[in-house]
Amino acid sequence: MDRNTIIGIFLIFLIFIVFGIINQPSQEELAKARKKRDSLEKLMHDSLVRETQKRTVLTPASTLAQKDTTTVFEPDSIVLKNLEEKYGVLGKHFIGDTCFIVMENQKLRITFINKGARPYKVELKEYRTFDSLPIVLWQGDSSIFSLNFFAQNRSIRTQDIFFEPLTKDSILDASSDSQHVVFQLKVADNRYLEFAYSLEPNSYKLNFSIQSKNFHEITSDRIDYMLLEWKLFVSQLEKNKDFEQSNTTIYYKYDAEEMDYLSETSDDKEDLKTKVQWIAFKQQFFSSVLFAKDPFLNATVESKKYTGSNPRIIKELYSEMALAYAPQETEKKSFVFYFGPNHFHTLKNQDIAELQKIIPLGWGIFGWINRFLVIPVFNFLDNYISSYGIIILILTILIKIILFPLTYKSYMATAKMRVLKPQVDEINQKIPKDKPLERQQAIMNLYKKAGVNPMGGCLPMLLQLPILFAMFKFFPSSFELRQQPFLWANDLSTYDSVLNLGFTIPFYGDHVSLFCLLMTVSTIIYTYQQNKLNPQNTTMPSMKIISYMMPVMFLFIFNNFSAGLSYYYFLANIITFGQMYIIRRFVNEEKLLAEINENKKKPIKKSRLQERLEELARQRSQNNKKKK
């Protein structure tokens, strides 16, 4: 890439930014579009309500944690008769009184509803959203959890059926050792379907089981499976909605294979045709996981962006799992729900295989660095230091100390080439430009005699890249940094806004992140120093321009990223400045040049490969002479 190409790319990039600013809709246009969309959705909603009222009997819901239900409208006998004709013995269970049961421990508060015998609301008691609201992973009617099967030649969804709660209390004592909630769909004295839930103290896990007795007498004899349907409209919990949306998806673990996941940035759907052990609806820092003790036969999972008008909803997550079903007297399936934070050691201690891998720590060597180096050191420091800004500082210093030998080697390689620059310039003057191959060979011979490796400055820097990328994955996904303040940053897990612009710049955002700005400025200064010290950059002006473009690109990329990540890169630059200053104070370039000149007097030691190549060239030359 020459200078003109780089200038052209920069101008195109600038045109896109200006075009985006000029053509972004005004506030009035956005308000009109929002009003039109809301009115259309309201019209559709009212139409759906009217249609529903024609076909079903409305029953008022009781207040949360209230034992006695309010007055219930008597069902029309015609409606009841139609339901019994349609669904047989199950028909009368499609109408009933709605009641709620609350179960909680030190970590969870779960509200169950008898319609569908399912969790209605799941709240994490220890945490709050970015705007101080309770963390709710499972919210009311915006969720579906239903067992679907065929009975009376009809498709039945337990989501629409009223179960009888066998638990007498509507609020269970959080201080008790173990709590149980049982819902029963009783068809006859010895024929029923039960959903049972139990919650242990100080745990993020909810035990769940489906048990039936003689239920096969009303289901079709031909079916050998039932479907467990699970859907959530995922709510925004973190400050950076776009970043949280791009880190929300479905993870799943095959029974005999490794974990996998759907795309995080685009709509995605997969048919899992082999046995599945668990499925996780994963957000940036919290997850809802369903683990099957007897693996699901197969499953379908889907993740897609939410297109409705609720500004707090970020995605729709859906799964449908097949359960093996045998028409026998008793049948029981056991499961475990996990509702909790995406904290590495918390997930690892849940006795659910590979659950901690839903935290995106990077693949291959990047993940190994985070799991076996960064996280242990980070957690060790966390035991003694309360400020996460100080922990990041100490972690950065430790990493730079470990990498110091590579930094020193890189500097020495650059210093050797710098002291040899006058001799390189002399070769360039002797050999004309129209003989580039001859000139390059002469320069390489000079480096070889002097014992200088021209790639010696690059290779140590390349070896540092795994840690650089590991940090890029660690900080945005580190639960420890969530809502932890430091200096002007209120939350190190998201961007630190010191100035709201009032308008949006494409690819940049609507705010100014100070840590990102400091990182960019320090990177430009570091690049300037490196260009001064590296003699190769004076002969390659295009590379020099590219080196300055990269920090500017980082300014746009990192402005919406974790403040902890920008803070780490800023500290790394500052510490590197200090290391370079110390090295320069102790390296005498005149003495270094004298050592290089001494090396030039020694005979060049050839490698075996080079000796072999020269021998082949000699043999070829002799054969050519014989032929002539």
Q: Is residue 272 part of a domain?
A: yes
Structure confidence by residue, pLDDT tens digits, 58-86: 333 333 333 344 444 445 667 667 766 66
Q: Can you give the pLDDT at residue 409?
A: 79
- pLDDT of 290 higher than 90: yes
| Alpha-helical runs (H) found in 170-246 | 241-245
What mean pLDDT is predicted for residues 338-367? 87
My answer on whether 375 and 325 are in the same domain is no
What mean pLDDT is predicted for residues 375-389? 87
Q: Is residue 21 part of a domain?
A: no
- End of a domain among 359, 388, 416? 359
My answer on whether 315 and 405 are in the same domain is no
Q: Is residue 38 part of a domain?
A: no
**Number of domains present in the structure of the chain:** 2
Q: Is residue 321 part of a domain?
A: yes
From residue 284, how far is each of 65, 241, 578 by CA, in Å?
Answer: 31, 10, 36
The HSE-up count of residue 433 (CA atoms within 13 Å, CB side) is 1
My answer on whether 103 and 247 are in the same domain is yes
Instruction: Write the single-letter amino acid at 35.
Output: K
My answer on whether 551 and 442 are in the same domain is yes
DSSP helix/strand/coil, 231: strand
My answer on whether 344 and 383 are in the same domain is no
My answer on whether 394 and 283 are in the same domain is no
Q: Is residue 233 part of a domain?
A: yes
Q: Which residues pair with 185 in a beta bridge?
A: 193
**Taking all residues of the chain, what is their mean pLDDT, rounded to a whole number?**
78
Q: Is residue 270 part of a domain?
A: yes
Determine contact, residues 98/163, Cβ cutoff 8 Å.
Answer: no
- pLDDT of 197 higher than 90: yes
Q: What is the CATH number of the domain that holds 250?
A: 2.70.98.90
My answer on whether 484 and 443 are in the same domain is yes
What mean pLDDT is predicted for residues 423-442? 74
603 or 546, which is more confident: 546
DSSP helix/strand/coil, 18: helix
Structure confidence by residue, pLDDT tens digits, 98-118: 889 898 888 999 999 988 889
pTM: 0.74
My answer on whether 280 and 394 are in the same domain is no
My answer on whether 290 and 434 are in the same domain is no
Cβ atoms within 10 Å of 155's Cβ, excluding its own: 10
My answer on whether 295 and 422 are in the same domain is no
My answer on whether 402 and 538 are in the same domain is yes
DSSP helix/strand/coil, 468: helix
The HSE-up count of residue 151 (CA atoms within 13 Å, CB side) is 22
Q: Kindly tell me the sign of the dihedral angle through the C-alpha atoms of 406, 408, 412, 414.
A: positive
Query: For residues 272 and 254, what is the distance between their CA atoms, to the nearest angstrom?
Result: 8
- End of a domain among 359, 391, 414? 359
What mean pLDDT is predicted for residues 563-575? 89
Q: Is residue 211 part of a domain?
A: yes
Give me Rg for the CA atoms of the chain. Answer: 33
Q: Which two tokens stand for residue 234?
A: 């995922």
208 or 35, which is more confident: 208
- End of a domain among 333, 359, 385? 359
Q: Is residue 85 part of a domain?
A: yes
Structural domain range at position 353 = 56-359
Query: For residues 122 and 109, what is the distance between their CA atoms, to the nearest angstrom?
Result: 6
My answer on whether 390 and 326 are in the same domain is no
